[in-house]
Structure 1
Amino acid sequence: MLLWLLLLLLLLILAPGRDQSGVAPKAVLVLNPPWSTAFKGSKVSLTCREFHSPDQGYTYWYHNGNLLEEKQKMITIKNSGDYQCKTQRSSLSDAVHVEFSSEWLILKASYPVFEGESVVLKCQGKEEKSITKKVYFKNKKQLPKHNLDSITLNSVSRDNSKYHCTASGGNFFKSWMVTSKPLSIQVQELFLQPVLRASSFQPMEGSPMTLTCETWLSPERPSIQLQFRFFRESQTLESGGSSSPELTIPAMGSEDSGSYWCEAEAETHSVMKRSLRFQINVQRVPVSDVKLEIQSPGGQLIEGENLVLICSAAKGTGMITFSWHREGTQRSLGRKTQHSLLAELQVFPVKESDSGRYYCAADNIHGPILSKRIRVTVRIPVSRPILTLRAPRAQAVVGDVVELHCEALRGSPPILYWFYHEDVTLENSTAASGGGASFNFSLTTEHSGNYFCEADNGLGTQQSHRVSLNITVPVSRPILTLRVPGDQTVAGDMVEFYCESPKGSPPILYRFYHEDVNLGNSSSLTGGGVSFNLSLTTEHSGNYSCEANNGLRAQRSELVTLNVTETSGNRVGLITAGVIGGLLCILGLVAAAAVLGHVRTQRKLGGLSAAGTFSKYPNLSLSRPSSIDPQDSTHSEPVAQMELQPVYSNVNPGDSNSVYSQIWITQPTKENLANSPRMHREDKELSVLYSELKKAHRDDSVGQASSRNRAHEDAAENYENIPCASLTSVH
């Protein structure tokens, strides 16, 4: 078998009638009937034709690539598949696919059909009489023609389109529809893709050159006329077309070098095919002495400007191709081909990444000649700098060391930085290799205010945003001042305690102390000191101090000693005051008893709380809003308010030699009366009035043994009215 194949191959090579390429023309396979699809069991015959030789000898048939035993010019087939044939004087034909279908409905296409020709599609069922409607589809989209036994498609091309059809029928009671299998139309090439050939690929300047556009037209369409066109690059070498596949250029010039290709077209069938491109280089005088120049002096540019690169050659003929390059990149920046010894390229706008070493090349087919390299530097103006204030803590304090850091994120070095405080220059520094600059200083109170910086690299100055710096000053040691009405403080005097820290950023919290007992506190929100008034008793003697704190540190004042002496005055006046005070006490006891029953009733109903206890300092009044330390007092539940209801009670401060008769009056608002039986502390204000009855000292035995007149006289001395104080809470 192998020997037989080798003998067949030798006969094909030696057979006459071959084309110019040395390959025998293809055989042509003809179908009868001329349809590519048939019902199974149908009779289909194949004929192998050879157009250039009537005596073709034996015919060789192939089914799906396998050689068949038949050697006749015509055979009958029954099986689906791809069929080919060849003769002793022809090469293998194109494959023809024949499909024998067992389906009820088939779609078949006429054969043969060539590019640009019309093809007939026929939808056929086994029982045509039962079909009432036929619809044709291309790529699953319905074609406009329907309900026809066959349709014609004009000017078909070689593509991968799929066709099918549907047939439907039925009556009023029942309808049906059948769909055929998809069909690909076998469109044959009208002529092969042309190949451009040249008499010389490197002609010398002045010599002729012949171009030939070769193709092969199907022998089944011998009447088709082809038109030929020739191109160099994108230009047509002759206006219009020619029926001749050859073109001769009498004298080639150096400008004729370039890429050539041809085009063949069958006008009546609107089929056009192009050859591949290939390069023809005309021999010429090589270029030499290539130089690169830059318009910008010294190769210095500012970002955003245009870079102009000029490439020139001292010698060279014909069309010269200039190209420009930057070191480190593979692709050229630009390319120009022209009949000139000089060309230029513009790069715009330039960026920082465009810095580097540049060179150019010139080539007229003999090989590129490179120029020397020239360095190009692209400088960047500084961007708006960013000023950063770096402090050791969130709130800057006098004495802290603060760093001002100024940095422009973009800009060619060196960069000069200037630092300003309220438009006053502080310092300047140069960043020689880029980056930012810093400036450190220790804070004083004068450093509060706005700061900004400037950056300049000789291409323009940029100013940063302003940054505010607020400096907190720790409090200094406060000074406690006592303001008394006279030279000597006696019981009953009203004394003002005033505490102030000379230095310190507000707000400042002041605390007052009597023998290290916290009397209360008050805040100064805008600076300065605070004060409070105190009606003195002998128990108020002792050492006083105050403390200032603004969150940075606390400072305690020096101790101030206060000596309170007993009062001495008109005994008759005291007796009179005592009698009046006694009467008030009696009235207070009567009223207190009446109110006490009412209060107990309200407690059972949930409307009244227990009465408060007496504070150690009932007459203390702060001149600013203050709060008493929770450790120094006990808060009771608020008392339910009653409109203008006085409550009288006797209060004994404990170890004191005085007894106080207290009158307690509340003044509620209408809104509180309407909404709630209980009142919060912040919803009422208590007015307190005390009448003081002094007790006899234990060692005053003489006074106890005196006569009735003496007792009456003593009683007159033991009464004293105490001024009212406004309290915000009951202790």
Structure 2
Amino acid sequence: MESEFPCPETEPGITDTEIVQVHYYPEFVFEGQELVLICSVNGATKPITVSWYKKQDRLQKDIELQTSSKTEFTIPVVQNSDAGEYYCIARNSRFSKQSNSVIISVKVPVSQPVLTLRRPGTWNLMTDKMSLQCEVQRGSLPIWYQFFHEGVLLEEIKSTSERKMFHRLSPTEKHSGNYYCTANNGLGPQWSKVMIPVSKPVLTFSSPGTRTLGGIQMSLQCEVQRGSLPIWYQFFREGVLLKKREAISWRTVSYSFSVTGENSGNYYCTADNGFGPQRSEAMRLSVTVPVSQPVLSLSPRGTRTLVGNEVRLQCEVQRGSLPIWFQFFWEDVLLTRTETTSWRTVSYSFSVTGENSGNYYCTADNGFGPQRSESINLSVIVPVSQPVLSLSPRGTRTLVGNEVRLQCEVQRGSLPIWFQFFWEDVLLTRTETTSWRTVSYSFSVTGENSGNYYCTADNGFGPQRSESINLSVIVPVSQPVFSLSPRGTRTLVGNEVRLQCEVQRGSLPIWFQFFWEDVLLTRTETTSWRTVSYSFSVTGENSGNYYCTADNGFGPQRSESINLSVIVPVSRPVLTLRAPRVQAVVGDVVELHCEAQRGSPPILYQFYHEDVTLGSSSSPFGGGASFNLILKAEHSGNYFCEANNGQGVQRSHMVPLSVRVPVSHPVLTLRTPRVQAVVGDVLEIHCESQRGSSPIQYQFYHEDVALGNSSSLSGGGTSFYLSLTTEHSGNYSCEADNGLGVQRSEAVSLNVRVPVSRPVLTLRTARTQVVVGDVLELHCEAQRGSSPILYWFYHNNVTLENSTSHSGQGVSLNLLLTADHSGTYSCKADNGLSPQHSEAVTLSVMGLTGSKSSLIATSVTGGLLSMMAIAAVAVLFYCWLLRKAGRKPTFDSSRNPSAPDPQESTYHNVPGWIELQPVYSNVNPNRGEVVYSEVWSVKKENKVTAASEPELFKNTDSCVIYSQVKGASTAASKPQFLDPFTPHR
């Protein structure tokens, strides 16, 4: 990439003699280290800006330097992704210079390798070949791999493209032991190890043969011939795990146990050191076990039974090798003998007689001597006969407080016997006797002791029940309880009242009497009930004290008195609503007054709104009651009240109340079919109050000018529609009114945008027929459209430049013409709504042919060396004159709205030979690619003041038009056109 060479200048800055270079520390960069890049600028005396780049990406915020200095860019922790090309660019207000590029390569140490043993799926340790695989997940290539066996190097391999290597092994005896591998890429070795699998284990028993007696100590030994340690051993019997053992320094382990009858079966062991278990051959062990002590049991359970019952003796041993001989004995007399070859339980049954009481036992023998069970004593007993219950003193009637004795007796039955006494199936007492067949139970009689009594006797074969005896206890009447029905001491005239007299206890018959103010009302005798009643219809004279008496021959008992009051029920109440205005409004206080015209006090009034209780109030001396309510919107609806003086509730008629709600602050919403409102769109202006009683009148305003109004009869908002024009930009608002006060919304601003019209492209030159070297002004302007407007210029459908107009006027672009500028021109205008293209305009440039060979030939023909020297002196002299005069060249990409005279030249006061031809230097006709390495444009004063100047050419007297122009592959091709306002490298 070639550097730019600006015009000679007097102001300090970055010149071609200044040096911008990059170096970095440390020299070698490893992943995880810190990387420091240093950009040094030497020879600058003017403030400069330094930017850092990685390839084409800018890395961080620009750094400001006042003079020649250096700055650093640091990567604290280098990652592999940080590798690449880095450089810096130094800039001042005019030019920039790029440093040399440095290539950063990040070296990554290898990760710890993983060494695995690769083998076939059905692997045989003795015959199959296996290989060791050493693999690392990450690390810079190349990598050197080494394989070791017990510290001896087997093989060393270098890999330039793979991160895993293999080493083949033959699994012979000498290869048993530890293997490991190392991986190294020059940043330090990493290693890992692997082990050889175990061989098939061998299982042996400690005692010779495969048969043994129970109770001896047996040892199982599991051994492997080869395999890397540690090794995990497991012992199994019939597939059930018996023991786990780990061997760290030996290849043989053992497992010992005391032999029992359950130890018979197939035994094997397994060995595993991480490569899958190896299983030994199975060995069979048979255990001969002597019989255990037998257990004798009776069925049915228990040691007592009745004559004639069936009894089954069962003899069982928990362990012992078959066959087994069982024998049953009664008082050492053999009853039966049985041999069994498949069971360890036998039984013997017999029918019980009076001679079968005594001790029973059994024996079991399988050739190691008989074993005898514990003895069981069987008692043959006699069930009890039906017991007889008697009372003392005799008779079935007695008075409260007397002593009564119950006696229960059985004629026969084996002792012990359990006696129980019952009253009405309720257990009174339980007694066991071992020497008598008669028991008794005494108690002092109370009024609750009347009822049926019986007893039971049981000696273990089911209870026997006596006949029942009914005992009657004569009880004096208790104080009667007097009550009214319906309950309460208040009743209405005409109601039916029932007087009830009841005694809790007392022997029948009983005589009951009812009294009103000591006047006998009625007398009744009852022989089966302890409750009687008397009813009558209430009149106004029935108020007073009532009571009753009861008597069963032991003197009358009187009840407590009850005072009965005859009252008047309340009439239907009247509800009145009292509000401060004709129409109730939210916030008003309304009084609800409820009153019944008649009824005995006190009266309780209850107030309701739509069946929801509001509150209550009591009137202790008659008259009505009131309830005050602060109105809310939800208080609209029906109201009623209830009156109650304890004799029934009366409800008033419904009274409706409508509570009106003032409108809330309305919300104005502008709705357009797109994000930005455009002329011709239909605008919906929606106004809505969130609360307020209907109907609501809405009024719409634009800049405080009324647009129209609309009503909402059932709530919700309403809308007003406008077809937009440019005059509709501005503030909009609305008002809401339902007769309780006007509310106005916040103002909402609307900006109506206008799409651009089709732009007009105008080409302006200094003469009618343009030639190479003339300045062409392209002016593009749309007559209407909202600002800002972005303009684009095209030459033969190739983009030249773009510019934005914020004032609504057009923009211009100036071109220094060459032969390649012939063709069609057009422009485009876009303000974000709909882009518009202009008509195409054709331009023909006369003069130089544009051929690379013609240009070179023309320069050589005139005396290339002398002309170049003269031109250089003229240019330097002219630049000096311009600076001395304080004038600066102007190149505008936009123009003033007042266009220059199309008949005047854009430049003046310049010698014709300078005006008509550019000055070329560094022409190399022998290079096939580059035609010009630098093209200078001499300053020419423009009569029309430019609206703006490109940033690149401000404060300069001359500029580089071309820094490099690449030619076509053939000599006949034309030079490539470059925008003169965009320097290229």
TM-score, normalised on structure 1?
Answer: 0.45
Larger radius of gyration: 2
**Structure showing greater relative contact order (alpha-carbon pairs closer than 8 Å, 6 or more residues apart):** 1
What is the TM-score normalised by the length of structure 2?
A: 0.34
